Amino acid sequence: MIEAHLLTKTFHDRRKKSILGADAVSFRVEPGRIYGLLGANGAGKTTTLRMIATLLSPTSGSATVAGFDVVRDPDKVRANVGFLAASTALYARLTAREMITYFGKLNGLADGPLRERVVRLADELDMHEFLDRRCDKLSTGMKQKTSIARMLVHDPQVMIFDEPTLGLDVMSARAIVRFVRECRDRGKTVVYSTHVMSEAQKLCDVIGIIHGGRLRAEGTLADLLARTGETDLEECFVKLVSQEDPR
């Protein structure tokens, strides 16, 4: 459902100096799998995911989502993708229900099916307690659940989570992780970006380690541990990102 091939994004600062946000990143994610993009802040995770979600145009390279090219068919890609970004805000004066409904209408859902969809998402994410509360009155965890419901209202086949538990308390983070796992079990294609080692270890079928905009290693947890001779993912990560890039 997702194929990225040599995705590269170059930015320019005020001095017109080139900065590589992502450097020839390639990976593949199949339905019913969670691909973990593991890296420190500034490693290139968000840049890569924004290109896949059509929020940024690649400088070079290519990517397809559900068979649609992110450059040639961006509208069709968006119709098949739910993208959760930590920087995406909620409208303060809308309730959680109104927020989800608004995005459902943007995605062309009819009123009847949309109402049913909102109730189903509220069930799955345990949102009924605050569904009719204004977004500016919600806790951080409630806001994150509302953001997730908003991204899933059109029932996309591909889900991209960019640091979804950032700033959440333990119980809220556990609820989000459990929900992501349930999405995988329903056959969705999931990309999960994080710098939290425990989340990557618990959730991800395949882990891609990104550093300096480059994908340094990829494999199952067992593959990566065997490659480095470590027994702990954190130590494995440090060893891999400390190695000189073979390119």
The residue from 114, 132, 155 where one domain ends is 155
191 plus 238 within the same structural domain: yes
pTM for the whole thing? 0.89
Would residue 108 count as lying in a domain? yes
> What is the domain range of residue 137?
89-155
Would residue 221 count as lying in a domain? yes
74 plus 110 within the same structural domain: no
Query: What is the rounded distance in angstroms from the CA atom of residue 48 to the CA atom of residue 220?
Result: 20
179 plus 212 within the same structural domain: yes
173 plus 149 within the same structural domain: no
Please report, for residues 29, 46, 165, 187, 218, the alpha-carbon distance to residue 206 in angstroms, rounded to integers and kept in the order given.
9, 18, 19, 15, 7
The residue from 155, 170, 202 where one domain ends is 155
Output the tens digit of pLDDT for each of the chain's 247 residues. Answer: 899 999 999 988 777 788 889 999 999 999 999 999 999 888 899 999 999 999 999 999 999 999 999 999 999 999 899 998 876 689 999 999 999 999 999 989 999 999 999 999 999 888 999 999 999 999 988 998 999 999 999 999 999 999 888 888 888 888 888 889 999 999 999 999 988 888 899 899 999 999 999 999 999 999 999 999 999 999 999 999 987 665 5
